[in-house]
Each structure stands twice: as C-alpha cells, then as structure tokens.
Structure 1
C-alpha cells in the first residue's frame, strides 16, 4: 500500500507525508522583517518539532522570490571533533560549502574552498568562506540557515560563533545579510567549556543576536487537521472521542502527534489493510501504549535530558507533586526546561503532556522494574482474574519496609523515590497486560495513578476492565490531616475515572519514626465509597 504517511523521522515532505504548512508555523512576517533589516537571529525548539522542515521551506521561499541567495546547512557532523578547532571548523566549513552548492547551485564556492579555503587558518576559515560566498554575487545578498549549531561543543562552538560575529559588520555585500542559528536551545543557554577550563555563555560569544524565535507545538485545531488529512486521503475515520485524548496525550508536540498517527494507521496492521475500519478509541489507546513501550528514539532521548542538573532540579519537584516549590528555582532553569519541551508553565508548571508524564517515571525506573523480586500470577485471583489489590499492596508494604532506603538511594530522583518505587513495582505487574495512567497533583503533594486491568484476556480492553485508583502522598503535616485531605482527593479522582476501587498510600519520611508507627492499613468510608488507607 502506498500513499502519504505520518512522518516520524527527518524533515517532512509534502509528496510523502501528511503536513501542515511549515511557513504558517512560524511568524513569516517577523522572519522576513528580520532578514530585510539585516539581522542575525535564533530559531530554536525541542527535537523533532519541525525546525528543519521550517528552515527548508523558508529557504525555498526566499530563493523563489529571487531577491536573496539562501542556503541551508546542517553542521551536526562537526560535533565529533569536540574541542578540536582545526577538525571541527574544517568539518563545518566543508558541510556549509557543499550545502551552498546544493541549495543555490553555486559550485564555484566549493571549488574555491577546496583550492584555497582549506589552506586558511581554521580560526579565520569560516569567516573567509562566508565572505567569499557573499562577494560572488553583487546583486543578491546571501542568507545562511545554520542547523544543529548547539550540537557543537567546546572551542569548536566558540570559534564558530566568534567567526560569524567577526564578519557581521561587513554584511550584506561582504558577509551574509542574515545568519539564522537553529538548534534545541536558545544561544543564551549555551554553556561552553573552553579548552582552558573557562565557561563561556553563548550570549557573550554571539552578542549580535537580534531575536530568539521559538517554534511552538501544534494547536489543538492543527493537531486534528493533520490527522484528518489521513481521512481525506484514505476515507478511514477516527472516533470523535479520540480528539480530546490526543490533545491531552500530546499537547500538540509534533513528533508525538505524528508517531501516534503512525501507530494507529500503519503499525495497526488490521487498520492498515482495511481502511473501511474506523480507528476506535480503544485501538487508539492500544497504539499509545505500544508507542510508550517502544522506547522510540524521541522518547529515549528524554533520559539523557533528565540527567542534567538543571533539568533534575525542576522535574524532581514536579514528580514529587510540589509545584509550589518550583517558584524559588532560577527562572533561567525553568525557561531552559520549558525550551527543551519537558514542561509548560501556563497556567502552572507541569510536565508538558500526558505521554511524557507516562514516559518519565518509566525511564527513571526502567532498570528497577526488572530487578524487583516478583513471582508471576500471585496477585491475580483465579476465580475472576481480578487483581487482588489488598494482597498486592500488602506485599509492597512489606517490601518497602525491608528495602526502601537501599532502593531509593539508587534513584537519581530521590525526592520522588517512594512514588517512583511503587510505580516501578506496579509497572512490572501491568506489563503483563494492564496499563497505568499518571496524574501529578501539582501544589498538593500527590500523585494519582489509574490502574486498568482487563478481566478477559481474549477481549483485552474491549471487554470488562478492572479500574483501580491509587493516590500517593508524602506526609508533610499531621497524619490525620494528610489522610483527611487525601481521602477527599482520592474519592474525587475515583469518581472522575469511574474506578471501582480506590486506595490512599501515605509515605511517612519523617526522621526518627519507627516502622511500627509508619506501617498500617485500614479502611475508611467517604460518600459511600470504601477507600483503603496504607501507611508506609
């Protein structure tokens, strides 16, 4: 079967992929105004958001107008040189010269570079290359779109930024009229370790930046519009109930939107073979779970970001349910984590979408899940295949008593250690056929879990499903006050989810408390609903 697909790798192409107009995703009027004013600026956004697609569309637009010579160049290959300026600048110049030839057809530049440019001192080679290119046409000024700039490190990155800055005063006839730096981060967030140990910020090395433009996510309407291109192309319909789920799952993050579309319409072989079958909500949820479990490259990259100290400082507090504690963090750190696409700050700071809220705890506890001692099937009641939640939580309670300190010490995110350990324990169980949805009660020091377990293996989630709500709270005030508040929150969340069972787990991390004081189990009733209360 041929035809367009949802794109999950590399720039999108109108002939191959479902695609929103790339130039409509940027403020084209602002961008063209900056170019007309001969400004240098930054375009940044999280990975796989559509930056390269937008840059290529901008290049085609400018070249079609005929007033500029615009070239796009990806210099990520220079990253391998690390701080070796000679090797790094050589790789960058080679990529730029080749890309200018590909973008504008100006082969003479590459020939000049191989003949004369390579002999120039690397500390001046990029400046000379861009100067020569700009002087090749006395009528049409040059515009350079430089992608993956922040992939470079150390002295290579410092040299590149300073060489561009060195030619700035000679624009537009002896240097590019506009240079656009593109990457994941704004140039102000470059923290560059030079060879002599000095830390140089991007802002100081590139103080000619006129603006920073952030490429945002799709809007809710754009998300739906993209998916409906599939319906227009194939006739295959989407259940109306999917749209609100898709928005909460992705909040318009372009790669997630496309990846979920690909899972639903291509990886689901039955739906791929028979376009007359509609994409139902349950098939959509199954596709979402497959995507999360796949640990796709985009999702796997989150793990690397979570190790960064600035990211850790923000995410650890959000995982622990403490939004009110984020306000004392440096605003630059919050902005940095938001620029990475991991959080959104309006109306309050929270992890940016529901899939990331699922992926982050799983990534943080991935190895832990498979190290936990566990026998299969002891927690499933043979008579009705229901999870025996009392038995399961009592087992975790005993495990937590015996091993909590040692296991939590293994987590980088120790602040959320108790919640993460329980989630790892439960994830190991539901990997056998169930699923967990996570909500963080920001500002209320709580984590809400919805555990769903199919009661008929043959029907899966299309048949009867056991739904259990678990609310996790760290004790910060008196035990009774915490329980009173937690019961009301647990009951409300259970009603919202249509859960038949509900449990409140209170972690008491106060020093000096014995396990005999912390460990307990009792049942409370609120609004006619029985809720299990577990102390740990």
Structure 2
C-alpha cells in the first residue's frame, strides 16, 4: 500500500510526501530561462511561506538534470545572527557555500579554498572569490565547465554593512561572467532589492539596494495560488484518498486564503490530520468543516499567524495597516515605499474593482484585530459567562440578543476604554478594535463574524452569522463609524445609515446596527452613550 501524502504546513515541499503544485509552473520557467540565457542578474521575491524555497530547489534540480548549466541554491539566513559584523557574516556565508556545493554538485574543492581564506584572514572580497571559484570549477566536466546559475536565498535577512558587502561583491564580479563568475545570479527574498534602504554603520549613511546592486535586470514576484490551483491541490487529496471537498468548502477555502499557499495547505492539514473525525476518508469535507478549521487555526495562533502579528508592530507596517483598520478616508500621508513593503510581505493587496488597498484575505482580516486586542479578549472571557447572558430563546432556538449585547458593550466601553486604549499601539483605531474583540469573545463558538475594512471606506463592516450551520437563523450587520471632528453627528449618522443599508442588502441581513464612536474627550459620557431606532430594521448606538 502506498503511503498517503499530506498537506505541508512546515518548510519546503517534499514531492514524495506532500500534495504539490508544480513549482516550475508557478515561477514561469520559460521567462526565467530566457533571463538566464541572456546572462541576466535578477530578483525573485515573495512573501514568507509562499513556496519560494520549494521553487528554487525545483529550479536547481531542473538545471542540474540537464547538460547546459549547473545550479546551486544557497540559503544565507544563518548569517543574520551576526548582524553587521562583516567578517563573521562572510565566514558564515562561505561555510554555507562549501557545504551546499558538496551536497548538490559533488564539489569538495571548496574546503581547501575555505582553509586558505581562514589563513589569509581578509574577508572583504571572500564571497567574490568563493563565487568565482565555483563558477570556474565543474566537478562533472572539469575540462569544459558548464556556466553556473547561483540562487542566493534570504538575501534580505542580512542587514547594514553585511548586506552592502554581499551586494557589492556580486557587482564587483559581474563583468567576469560566465566563465569566472555566474552566468546568472538570482537573489531571493521577501522584498525587491530596489526597496532596500540599508543603513551603513561604516559610512553613517542610507544606501539604497539599487545603488549597491545596480546590475539587476528584472524582478519577478512569486504570487499566490490561483483559484484553479487551490482546487487542483485539494483534488490531489481526493484522487489519492477518495475524500471529497464539497463545492462550498472549496469556495470558502478560496475566500479565506485568496490562494496564500501556507494558508491553503494549513487549512487542509487542519482538516485532514488534526481533526480526528475527518481522518475517516469516507467523510466529505463540507463548508461547515472548513469554517471550523479556519476558526481552530486562528485561535491556535499558528506560527505563520504569530509572524504576522510581529509585523504589525513595525513602523512601516503600522503606517499602512492603521489607516486600513481605522477606515481612514485621508490617505495622502501614506508613503509609497511603505505600501510596497506591505504588498511584498503579502499583508495587503489592491482590489480590482475599487482600485483600493485592503487586507489580503479573510484570515488575515480576522487575525489582525484579534492580535491587536489579544489581552482584551482574555479579559472579556473572565468578565462574562459565555453563551448565557446574551442569548434569548425563540421557539426553542437560542438566538443572539444583539440589543442586550451592544448595551453591555456601551457600559463596558464607558468604564474601561480609557484603560484599554491607553496602551494600544493602534490607539486611534482602538474603539473599533475593542468592539470587534468584545463581539469575538461572545460570538466565538456559536457563530462567526466576517469583517470588511479598507483604505478610504470610512467605516468598518461586521457581519455576524448565528448560529453556525448551513442555514443560520440570524444575519446581522454591525456598521462601525468614528465621528470625525470636522463632521457633524447628523452628517456622520446620515452617511452611516446609507452604508449600513447597502451592506445589509449585499449580505441579505435582516437587521442592522450602526455604532458611532465619538472620541471627543470634552464630551460627557451622558452625551456619547445613546440608542435610537433609525428604521424598522436599523438601530443607532452611540459610544
């Protein structure tokens, strides 16, 4: 009996073990071969955990299986630990070259070179000498060496003078290609080299990636899976095990992930391995199972999600994510470099319809407010007994008493908002985030919340579905707006009412609630807290 493959959520793909989309197809092999034939040096960049390493290994195997080129993949992330100590970084990188050349090319000649470099103890050009050595030496064809294709991964794990040194040594050897330097060098990382702004401790200046490595011919970005590729990946499991993904499950997987490779695999791994009941391959993977898997994955704070949370504290990420979660309408002050950085990280994308930037997928859209209010959510769980006080029984079915829920939030916000908002990184977006955290702790387990927010929307859209199931009894829209100092309350409510109606219509919701936060510290809470019926189905809440 053949061993069953599985969905991979850790490290590079192993084709014999993991369901896999052909990596050479994902990187457009023909385009890359054309660049290499033209002796180009270029960049392949992609967000973390999108399959970059898998693609580079596949490309190395592809060339080494032929007779035209040799290829070597080198991951230099280990040099990150020494930070800007150029000598130690170069020694670490040269050592990696020696090891991988022996492993993948059967070339042991680098051991002697490394010993000579250690004796010489001059490291400013050691990487250039090492690359030149392997470019000239072909273990398989010593008399007629095939040109070398060099792939350097995690290039942007280096910082400062160490990164500058690597880029400049590559540039210094460029004119010696292809016989004494690589035919082509591919720099792999999260960002395009043009976006590097490198602080040199030696010269006390900012050096851009382009000036340190101005021989780059092109930049290729490895994207997410297409919808068809997500279905193809899941179909591999069905073909090998007989376990089917229903149409609803596939649609939800696409909406949750938008093809982000790690998320696509992690969702399926959660279902097919961690959910014990679903190891019975006769059970279909339904939409409900997919929802449960998404919730379990988010709540568990998987490694990928933890890394995402860490990025939220970076100033360049904050500059972009804050106005998105805040629903800001004035976007003039967002630096273009910061937007490109967040795109390269895979955090945001530009919508095709509205041409606006938004969070890349539904899982990230849910993770971000949860992570920003994680401590608050823990506090909420001890404040209220879950699934008791906010429920009402109607015809034998427990439904959400949304009015009771929002009334309780108003009181909570009145008593505790000053304390919670004081220490928040995303303080100005704090009111909306606290409401989302409050609702999440309450609704979690019995229903689910879908979120929409983006640059220029001027609001946050929350869609509560209760209870979990194929035919939920309640579909409730909660529209969140912040009253700006320049706007009157009447104008804010009027615009918010129009937006709530439109969102209700799109979601086929039966009831809507418009929550307006007034951050004016001069107003008394008695003026801020109110409740008013705007229409038969829409209620206004002041906070």
In which range does the TM-score fall when normalised by the shorter chain? Answer: over 0.9
Task: State the TM-score, normalizing by the size of structure 2.
Answer: 0.91
Aligned 1:347-496 pairs, distance under 5 A: 347=352, 348-372=356-380, 374-377=383-386, 379-381=389-391, 383=393, 385-431=398-444, 433-440=446-453, 442-454=455-467, 461=469, 465-476=473-484, 477-496=487-506
The CA RMSD measured in Å over matched residues stands at 2.1
- Measured in 2, the distance between the counterparts of 1:509 and 1:499 equals 29
Residue from 205, 209, 212 that aligns with 2:212: 205
Matched, 1:520 2:517: no
Q: Is the CA contact 2:43–2:219 (under 8 Å) kept in the aligned structure 1?
A: yes
- Measured in 2, the distance between the counterparts of 1:311 and 1:381 equals 39
Aligned 1:147-226 pairs, distance under 5 A: 147-196=153-202, 197-226=204-233
Q: Is the CA contact 2:359–2:454 (under 8 Å) kept in the aligned structure 1?
A: no
Matched, 1:297 2:314: no
User: What residue in structure 2 maps to residue 82 of structure 1?
Assistant: 83
Structure 2, unpaired ranges of 5+? 139-143
Q: Is the CA contact 1:314–1:326 (under 8 Å) kept in the aligned structure 2?
A: no
- Measured in 2, the distance between the counterparts of 1:187 and 1:309 equals 20
User: What residue in structure 2 maps to residue 320 of structure 1?
Assistant: 326
Q: Is the CA contact 2:350–2:357 (under 8 Å) kept in the aligned structure 1?
A: yes
- Measured in 1, the distance between the counterparts of 2:209 and 2:360 equals 26
Structure 1, unpaired ranges of 5+? 455-459
Q: Is the CA contact 2:515–2:542 (under 8 Å) kept in the aligned structure 1?
A: yes
- Measured in 2, the distance between the counterparts of 1:497 and 1:266 equals 33
TM-superposed CA distance for 1:495, in Å, is 4.3
The range that moved more, 276-285 or 475-484, is 475-484
Task: State the TM-score, normalizing by the size of structure 1.
Answer: 0.93
- Measured in 2, the distance between the counterparts of 1:243 and 1:461 equals 17
User: What residue in structure 2 maps to residue 113 of structure 1?
Assistant: 113
TM-superposed CA distance for 1:256, in Å, is 0.9
User: What residue in structure 2 maps to residue 457 of structure 1?
Assistant: none
- Measured in 2, the distance between the counterparts of 1:270 and 1:403 equals 42
Q: Are the structure 2 counterparts of residues 432 and 279 from structure 1 closer, same or farther at C-alpha, using a change threshold of 3 Å? A: closer
TM-superposed CA distance for 1:395, in Å, is 2.1
Give secondary structure in 2 for the equivalent of 1:248: helix
Q: Are the structure 2 counterparts of residues 353 and 166 from structure 1 closer, same or farther at C-alpha, using a change threshold of 3 Å? A: same
TM-superposed CA distance for 1:124, in Å, is 1.4
Q: Is the CA contact 1:19–1:226 (under 8 Å) kept in the aligned structure 2?
A: yes
User: What residue in structure 2 maps to residue 41 of structure 1?
Assistant: 42
Q: Is the CA contact 2:391–2:401 (under 8 Å) kept in the aligned structure 1?
A: yes
Please list the CA deviations of residues 226-250 of structure 1 after superposition, one character each: whole Å capped at 9, or x if unmatched: 1111111111111112232222211
- Measured in 2, the distance between the counterparts of 1:19 and 1:150 equals 26
